[in-house]
C-alpha cells in the first residue's frame, strides 16, 4: 500500500525539505479530519487524497498543489471550514481547496443543474488560480481508476461526464497522459465488452507485429545515426478509445487501423527536428498532403511537433512525430510542464507560453459565463468549445488566429473582439469579398468590415461553431430585444394613454409606482418590455394607470388614438416582424397584431388570418408606413408562362435589371404547354413591385401575373 513516506521519497527528487514537510503536515491534517470515513471499496478515505497527490507528484506539481490535493475533500466532507484551512496552511491552499470543492451548502432540484453550477464555480476559481483544474483532473483520474465499487448506472453517468468535460479539458490544456487514461477508463465504464475485446485484439496484434516494429524502428534509428544526428526512436501506441472511434466513425476494420505503424523521434533542439525530417523523407517516400508543422504553428493547447506519414517497405504506412525533449514533456504534461520547469528553476518559453494560453482560454470561459443565461447554457457552450481540431488563419497584420474546424467569418470576428463581432457587416478573405457564413480554411487572410449601425443577426446562430461567438450573439440579441421591446412598449402605452388625453411623461409618479407594486415589477422598463413583447396589453395598462372608464370601440373597429397610427419603417428590429402569410409592402394598408413574445406582427388589412382577432380590437393596432424606408421586403408572385428554354434566365435578368433580388424560385408544370412560376422577390415598396410586374408582362409567352396573398 502506498504511504506518505513513499510520496515524500518521490518528492525529494524535486522539492526542498521544508516544502515536503508542509505536504506531510497537510496529509496528517486530512487523515485526522477524515478519521472514521471509508471509501466504497472499504479502504480508509485518506487513501484517495494521497493517491491524488501522487498523480500530481508524477507531474512535478508544486507543494501548494500537493497540499490542496491532500485537503481537497476536507471542506466538502468534514466539518472543517475554508477559514480554518487558511489559518493552518495559508490563503492560496485554502483557495485551491475551495475551488475544487462542490457547492454542498445548496440543494438543487436537478442533478444536471447541480453539476453545471459546480462546474461554473470551478471556472471562477480557475480564473484566480489555474492549478484548481489540475488538482481536479487528478482527483477525477483517481475516481475513474476506482469506479469498480459503484453501481453500473452511476459508473456510466460519471464516465459520460468525464468524456464530455474533463477529458476534453485535459486535452485543451495539453495534459495528454491524463487525457488518454481518462478516455480509456471512461470507454471501459461505458462499453466494458467492446473495451475488453479491443484490448485483447491490440495485445494479440502487437505480439504478431513485434518483429516488423523492431525492424522499422532500427531502420529509422540507423538513418538518423548515419546522418550524424542525435535522436531516439520510440514506438507509439494507439489507445483503446482512439481505435474504437476510428472503427466507428471512419468505418474501418481493426486490421486496417493496426496496419498503420506509429513512431516518435525525440531530439535535442528544433534545428535537429527539421534535419531528421529530411533524413526520414530520404529513407521512405512521404505521403503527399500528410505533413503538418505544429512547431511553427503550435496547437491551441501548446502542443508542438512535426507530423509526417511515410510509405514504408511493401507500402506500409508509417506515421512519424518528431519533437524535442521539451516538446515531449509539453505533449505529456501540458500546462503542468510550467511547474515542472519552475521546480528546476529553468523556466522555458514553451512552458510559459502554455501557461499564457491556458489563462487566455480561462478568460474566454469567464466571458462566456457572463453572457450565458444560466449554468446549463454555459456548460453547453463549454462542451462545444472543447474540440481540439484547429485551423489557423491570419489577420491583415499577419497575426495568427486559432479557430476550430468548420469556423466561419463570424467566429473569426468574435475571436478578435466581441465588439467587432457585434458590428460586423462584411468581410474579405484573401482580399476578395465573401459571405459571412463562409467556412474558413487554414492559411487564409481575413479582414472584417464593421459599421457603427451593425448588429448581430439571429441567422448567425445557424452557422457559427465557437462557443464564444454563440454566447456573445445570444447575449447581444437578448439585449437588443430588451431595448427594442422597451422602445415599442413606450410607443404603445403612450398611444393608449392618448385616448385619455395624457401620456406616460404627464402621469403622476404615484400612479406608476402603485401599478408596478401591484404587478410585482421591478421598474418602469420591466413594464414597458412586457407591453412591447405582447405579454401585457397597452390599453389595459393605460386603463389601470388613469383609473378611468374607457369608451368602447365599435365592434370590429381598431383602437385608433387621437395621435393616429403607429409609424413603422421596417428597421425597428426584433419586436416588429412582417407576416409571411400576406407579405405586406410599403404602400399597402397595414394593421398590427400583438403576438406574445414577438411584439407586433404586421399584416395587410385584408389578411384572412386576422379574421378571428377582429372581435378583440385591443390586440390590433392601426399602423402607418414611414416616409423614409430603405429596407427590402419579400413579396410572392405567381406567373403563368408558356413552357420554353431559358425562361428562368430571362426572369432573373429582368429582376436584376429592375434592382431587385430573387429570394426563391420554383416551377410547377400545369400541362405540357403551360407552367406556373412561383417567385419570391425582395422589393422596396408597391411602386417598385408594380414596375417589375409591368416589365414582366412585356416578356413574350408570359400570361397572367398575380401577387400571392394568404
* Active site amino acids: 76-77
Residue 65 grid coordinates: 498543489
Q: Do strands 566-568 and 620-625 pair parallel, antiparallel, or not at all (unpaired)? A: parallel
Helix (H) or strand (E) holding 689: helix 686-697
Torsion sign, CA atoms 396, 400, 404, 406: positive
Task: Enter the DSSP assignment of 442.
Answer: T
DSSP annotation of 139 reads H
3-state secondary structure 311-364: ECHHHCEEEEEEEEHHHHHHHHHHHHHHHHHHHCCCCCHHHHHHHHHHHHHHHH
DSSP state of 461: G
Please give the Cα distance from 172 to 351 (Å, whole number).
Answer: 15
What 3 state SS string does 603-622 have?
EECCCHHHHHHCCCHHHEEE
Q: Report d(CA 185, CA 191) in Å as an integer.
A: 10
CB atoms within 10 A of CB 625: 21
Contacts of 332 (CB under 8 A, 6+ apart): 175, 176, 177
Rounded to whole angstroms, the Cα distance separating 178 from 176 reads: 5
Ramachandran class of 90: left when φ > 0, alpha when ψ lies in -120 to 50, beta otherwise: left
Cβ count near 504 (within 10 Å): 18
Residue-by-residue DSSP string for 492-507: HHHHHHGGGT--TTTS
Q: Which cell goes with 289?
A: 498532403
What is the 8-class DSSP label of residue 459?
G
Angle at 291 between CA 286 and CA 297, to 5 degrees: 155
Integer Cα distance of 342 and 347 in angstroms: 5
Look up cell 521519497; give the residue: 9
Closest CA to 604 of 589, 616, 623: 589
Distances (CA, A) of 173 to 56, 57, 654: 15, 18, 57
Residue 556 half-sphere exposure toward CB, CA atoms < 13 A: 3
Pick the closest to residue 578 from 633, 627, 630, 624 (CA basis). Answer: 633
Cα–Cα distance, 38 to 273 (Å, whole number): 51
Largest CA distance in the chain: 102
Q: Choose among 127, 128, 56, 51: nearest CA to 92.
A: 128
Written as nine digits, the cell of 675 is 407552367
Q: How does DSSP classify residue 79?
A: S
CA angle (115, 119, 121) in 5-degree steps: 120
Q: Measured between alpha carbons, how far is 634 from 663 in angstroms, rounded to an integer?
A: 8
Q: Say if residues 402 and 388 touch (Cβ distance below 8 Å).
A: no
Q: Return all residues near 212 (Cβ < 8 A) that are at least 6 apart.
A: 261, 316
Amino acid at each position: 500500500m502506498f504511504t506518505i513516506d513513499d510520496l515524500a521519497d518521490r518528492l525529494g527528487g524535486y522539492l526542498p525539505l521544508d516544502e515536503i514537510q508542509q505536504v506531510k503536515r497537510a496529509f496528517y491534517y486530512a487523515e485526522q479530519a477524515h478519521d472514521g470515513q471509508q471509501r466504497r471499496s472499504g479502504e480508509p478515505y485518506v487513501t484517495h487524497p494521497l493517491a491524488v497527490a501522487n498523480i500530481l507528484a508524477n507531474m512535478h506539481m508544486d507543494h501548494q498543489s500537493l497540499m490542496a490535493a491532500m485537503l481537497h475533500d476536507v471542506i466538502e466532507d468534514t466539518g472543517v471550514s475554508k477559514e480554518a484551512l487558511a489559518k493552518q496552511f495559508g490563503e492560496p491552499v485554502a483557495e485551491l481547496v475551495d475551488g475544487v470543492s462542490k457547492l454542498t451548502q445548496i440543494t438543487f432540484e436537478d442533478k444536471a443543474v447541480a453539476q453545471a453550477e459546480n462546474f461554473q464555480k470551478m471556472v471562477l476559481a480557475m480564473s484566480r488560480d489555474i492549478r484548481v483544474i489540475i488538482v481536479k483532473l487528478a482527483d477525477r483520474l483517481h475516481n475513474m481508476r476506482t469506479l469498480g465499487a459503484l453501481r453500473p448506472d452511476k459508473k456510466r453517468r460519471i464516465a459520460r461526464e468525464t468524456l464530455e468535460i474533463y477529458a476534453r479539458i485535459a486535452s485543451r490544456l495539453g495534459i495528454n497522459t491524463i487525457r488518454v487514461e481518462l478516455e480509456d477508463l471512461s470507454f471501459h465504464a461505458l462499453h466494458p465488452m467492446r473495451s475488453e475485446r479491443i484490448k485483447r485484439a491490440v495485445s494479440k496484434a502487437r505480439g504478431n507485429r513485434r518483429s516488423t516494429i523492431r525492424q522499422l524502428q532500427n531502420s529509422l534509428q540507423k538513418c538518423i545515426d548515419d546522418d550524424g544526428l542525435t535522436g531516439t526512436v520510440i514506438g507509439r501506441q494507439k489507445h483503446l478509445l482512439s481505435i474504437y472511434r476510428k472503427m466507428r466513425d471512419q468505418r474501418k476494420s481493426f486490421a486496417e487501423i493496426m496496419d498503420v505503424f506509429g513512431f516518435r523521434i525525440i531530439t535535442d533542439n528544433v534545428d535537429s527536428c527539421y534535419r531528421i525530417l529530411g533524413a526520414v523523407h530520404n529513407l521512405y517516400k512521404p505521403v503527399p498532403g500528410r505533413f503538418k508543422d505544429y512547431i511553427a504553428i503550435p496547437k491551441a493547447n501548446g502542443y508542438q511537433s512535426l507530423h509526417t506519414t511515410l510509405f514504408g517497405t511493401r507500402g506500409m504506412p508509417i506515421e512519424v512525430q518528431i519533437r524535442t525533449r521539451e516538446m515531449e514533456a509539453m505533449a505529456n504534461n501540458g500546462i503542468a510542464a510550467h511547474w515542472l520547469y519552475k521546480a528546476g528553476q529553468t523556466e522555458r518559453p514553451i512552458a510559459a507560453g502554455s501557461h499564457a494560453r491556458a489563462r487566455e482560454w480561462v478568460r474566454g470561459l469567464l466571458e462566456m459565463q457572463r453572457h450565458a443565461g444560466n449554468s446549463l447554457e454555459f456548460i453547453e457552450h463549454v462542451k462545444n468549445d472543447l474540440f481540439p481540431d484547429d485551423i489557423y488563419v491570419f489577420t491583415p497584420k499577419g497575426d495568427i488566429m486559432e479557430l476550430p474546424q468548420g469556423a466561419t467569418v463570424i467566429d473569426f470576428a468574435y475571436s478578435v473582439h466581441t465588439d467587432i463581432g457585434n458590428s460586423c457587416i462584411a468581410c474579405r478573405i484573401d482580399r476578395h469579398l465573401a459571405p459571412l457564413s463562409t467556412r474558413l480554411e487554414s492559411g487564409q487572410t481575413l479582414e472584417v468590415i464593421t459599421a457603427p449601425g451593425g448588429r448581430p443577426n439571429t441567422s448567425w446562430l445557424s452557422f457559427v461553431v465557437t462557443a464564444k461567438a454563440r454566447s456573445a450573439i445570444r447575449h447581444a440579441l437578448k439585449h437588443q430585444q430588451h431595448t427594442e421591446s422597451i422602445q415599442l412598449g413606450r410607443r404603445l402605452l403612450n398611444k393608449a394613454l392618448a385616448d385619455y388625453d395624457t401620456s406616460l411623461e404627464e402621469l403622476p409618479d404615484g400612479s406608476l409606482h402603485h401599478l408596478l407594486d401591484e404587478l410585482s415589477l421591478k421598474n418602469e422598463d420591466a413594464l414597458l418590455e412586457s407591453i412591447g413583447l405582447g405579454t401585457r396589453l397597452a390599453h389595459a395598462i393605460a386603463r389601470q394607470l388613469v383609473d378611468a372608464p374607457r369608451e368602447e370601440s365599435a365592434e370590429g373597429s381598431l383602437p385608433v388614438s387621437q395621435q393616429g397610427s403607429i409609424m413603422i419603417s421596417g428597421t425597428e428590429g426584433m419586436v416588429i416582424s412582417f407576416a409571411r402569410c400576406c407579405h405586406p409592402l410599403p404602400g399597402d394598408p397595414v394593421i398590427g397584431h400583438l403576438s406574445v413574445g414577438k411584439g407586433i406582427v404586421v399584416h395587410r388589412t385584408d389578411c384572412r388570418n386576422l379574421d378571428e382577432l377582429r372581435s378583440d380590437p385591443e390586440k390590433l393596432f392601426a399602423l402607418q408606413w414611414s416616409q423614409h424606408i430603405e429596407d427590402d421586403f419579400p413579396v410572392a408572385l405567381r406567373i403563368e408562362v408558356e413552357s420554353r428554354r431559358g425562361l428562368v434566365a430571362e426572369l432573373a435578368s429582368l429582376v436584376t435589371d429592375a434592382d431587385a433580388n430573387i429570394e426563391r424560385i420554383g416551377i410547377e408544370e400545369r400541362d405540357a404547354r403551360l407552367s406556373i412560376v412561383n417567385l419570391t422577390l425582395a422589393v422596396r415598396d408597391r411602386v417598385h413591385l408594380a414596375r417589375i410586374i409591368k416589365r414582366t408582362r412585356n416578356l413574350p409567352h408570359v400570361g397572367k401575373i398575380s401577387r400571392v396573398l394568404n
